[in-house]
Chain A
Amino acid sequence: SYDLIQALSVSVALGQTARITCGGNNIGGKNVHWYQQKPGQAPVLVIYRDSNRPSGIPERFSGSNSGNTATLTISRAQLGDEADYYCQVWDSSVAFGGGTKLTVL
């Protein structure tokens, strides 16, 4: 199975930029997708295919992927962005990262 490594937690000051990383062996050669999950709710797709936003997702959410690291960037962080964020790839099966809890201070 393909291992995806995420930090357990990331903190960001209100209005600043948060960066959540997802590490994997040559992950830059794969398509990376990101999900946001707020407490008690189902996950929501926020970025697909490295850097594409589904309709309804704010432009503040962006993604990049190169080498061994994919990054989800949240600009002008808001209190409503507090959530767990999961990266995901396909490598003969679906693999999820362990998730990163984002705290907005």
Chain B
Amino acid sequence: QVQLVESGGGLVKPGGSLRLSCATSGFTFSDYHMNWIRQAPGKGLEWLSYIRSSGSTIYYADSVKGRFTISRDNAKNSLYLQLSSLRAEDTGVYYCATDAHGEYFMDVWGKGTTVTVSS
């Protein structure tokens, strides 16, 4: 079955950087579009970024444009999110999720990895 496992979260100082990974299995990764979504403590869901299966199309939320970079390695069945210039408000749980239908919704979600930005 489809499995997504995020990693790379941790404690980082304001202004710092972090690279999140999403390891996938149970499906043909190169056929699926992918998303990153986050959730601040006690808050709702916030979509961050989308990448098409081929990597040819990428979208970002305005809140992270210019600071976060999404990428994928279809040979390694992995999705990435490079976080830079981190702020306290970037603290939260970061989820990766599939978009199997190509209709901009999230079919399957990983369990998430926690990022804490604090001095």
Contacts and interface: CB of A to CB of B under 8 A. Distances in A.
A96 B50 CA distance: 14
Given A42-B95, A42-B111, A42-B112, A96 B44 contact: yes
Contacts of A41: 111
A61 interface: no
Given A33-B105, A94-B104, A43 B95 contact: yes
Interface of A: 1, 31, 33, 35, 37, 41-45, 48-49, 54, 84, 86, 88, 90, 93-99
A41 B93 CA distance: 11
A88 B107 CA distance: 12
A98 to B, nearest CB: 5
B109 A44 contact: yes
A43 B105 contact: no
Contacts of A33: 105-106
Given A43-B95, A93-B59, A93-B61, A54 B107 contact: yes
User: Chain A's interface: helix, strand, loop or mixed, by majority?
Assistant: strand
A42 B105 contact: no
Interface in B82-119: 95, 101, 103-112
- Nearest 5 CB-CB pairings of A with B: A90-B104, A94-B47, A33-B105, A42-B109, A99-B44
Given A94-B35, A94-B50, A43 B107 contact: no
Contacts of B44: 84, 86, 96-99
